Amino acid sequence: LPTEFEQAKPIIETIEAAGFEAYFVGGSVRDTILGKPIHDVDIATSAFPAEVKSLFKRTVDTGIEHGTVMILDHGNGYETTTFRTESGYQDFRRPDQVTFVRSLKEDLKRRDFTINALAMRANGEVIDLFDGLADLDTRVIRAVGVAEDRFHEDALRMMRAVRFASQLGFTIEPATAQAIADNAQLLTKIAVERTRVEWEKLLLGQQPVRGLQALVASALYRYMPQMADQAPMLTKLMALPTWHLASVEEAWTLLVWLMGLPNEAAIRQLLKAWKTSNELIDHVMAAWQVMTALQHDSKLAPMTLFKAGAAALKTANTVANLVGFGQPQATIDAAYEALPIQDKHALALNGGDLLKQQVVKPGPRMGQVLAQLLTAVVNGKVSNESSALLDFARMVADTEND
């Protein structure tokens, strides 16, 4: 058993000693059997939330209305969820009602895929009520029960299927794949943020092309934000030589590039539709600027390097390498390191100094003069010392007065 499970064993044993059942469940069981590293340890139990809480000193009600209590133990947190069934799903995304039950089988039945419906006892024994082990063995993603019904209950599961295809390199079983194709439009019922999480996991997965193939074969992509017309982009993406992405910044920069978006406004519009953070939007726009520059001239101008900053430069060059016109990262890093300054706060003269020396009066010209100073320093036209900068600022201000 992985250390994470060994550490969590006493939790299960404590619940069992009180006369309840408790098991490891979910992705950590799947990944352990696959020999992959695990992240979060999830526990399912027959004990009701109040019963769980009575057994442990330190707990947090992280989702108590759904039966989830976090047990804190030696610096670790374990999400412990009471066996439950779900019913309703009038909106194709969440159950109208959850009911706590005492049966493990009922709980496993509500899970999305057979490989995610395995349970493990504290001693490592696997409980496999839906033939998940066989599907792990043959590397198949298969809905638990009738696929069509399961996607009607929660349309996000369709995105999860293609995401797991990418992360695990598995094939989606034909009936499950058919149900995705038949119900793809239900994805529009799902909150964009939740779709985005799965989409990003797909793109960052071990075998992204597998996930993309499933996405295209089912036409599921057509119901993702702003993607209806993106078949050409997806085709290009699938045709790239083997690729692995390391960050969501790289993923979105690659998409934006292959989409051939014309300008920053179009990039912003796309990313807003996907509800990404403003930090991500800024990063992708900066990386896109660098790629545009790199495509035309292999030597990046000092201001292009400066404006992008180290992180966006790395993203841009990584993606440029994927699409065929990148450079050794060391070349870019060296050019960036060679800039006279990397940050505008490193200018040896600031707005306060300009006022004090009466070079400019407060107002919009201040910003213009400072911008010219910055450009001159970055381009190596003026050295970054206060006296040289003051002379230069006086000259600039005089010219503007004329």
Between 116 and 253, name the residue whose CB sits nearer to ligand ATP: 116
Q: Per the annotation, does 154 bind a ligand?
A: yes
Residue 198 found at the interface with ligand ATP (CB under 6 A): no
Q: Which stretch binds ligand ATP (CB under 6 A): 8-16, 135-143, 151-159, 182-190?
A: 151-159
Structure tokens at 91: 């909106």
Q: Per the annotation, does 394 bind a ligand?
A: no
Question: Which listed option, Mg ion, ligand ATP, none, makes contact with residue 116 (CB within 5 to 8 Å by class)?
Answer: ligand ATP
Q: Which stretch binds ligand ATP (CB under 6 A): 109-117, 238-246, 369-377, 386-394?
A: 109-117
Q: Which stretch binds Mg ion (CB under 5 A): 19-27, 108-116, 276-284, 320-328?
A: 19-27
| Helix residue ranges, H only, 88-190 | 104-109, 132-138, 147-153, 156-168, 174-183
How far apart CA 400 and CA 394 sit, in angstroms, is 10
Which of 5, 12, 41, 42 contacts ligand ATP by CB under 6 A?
42
Q: How far is the CB of 61 from Mg ion (least distance, A)?
A: 19
* Nearest by Cα to 58 from 41, 40, 70, 67: 70
Which of 107, 128, 135, 154 contacts ligand ATP by CB under 6 A?
154
Q: Site map for Mg ion, 34-73, x if CB under 5 A?
A: ------x---------------------------------
Rounded to a whole number of angstroms, the distance between the first and last alpha carbons of the chain is: 78
CB of 24 within 8 A of CB of 12?
A: yes
Q: Which stretch binds ligand ATP (CB under 6 A): 154-162, 289-297, 312-320, 378-386?
A: 154-162
Residue 381: which residues within 8 A CB-CB, separation 6 or more? none
How far apart CA 82 and CA 261 sit, in angstroms, is 48
Structure tokens at 374: 């910055």
Chain residue at closest Cβ approach to Mg ion:
27
Residue 90 neighbours by CB distance under 10 Å: 8
- Name the CA radius of gyration of the chain, rounded: 28
Residue 27 found at the interface with Mg ion (CB under 5 A): yes
Among positions 111-130, residues that touch ligand ATP (CB under 6 A) are 111-112, 116-117
Q: Per the annotation, does 84 bind a ligand?
A: no
Between 245 and 349, name the residue whose CB sits nearer to ligand ATP: 245
Q: DSSP letter at 87? A: E
Residue 154 neighbours by CB distance under 10 Å: 22
Q: Per the annotation, does 111 bind a ligand?
A: yes
Residue 204: which residues within 8 A CB-CB, separation 6 or more? 245, 246, 247, 248, 251
Please enumerate, by residue number, every residue annotated as part of a binding site for Mg(2+).
40, 42
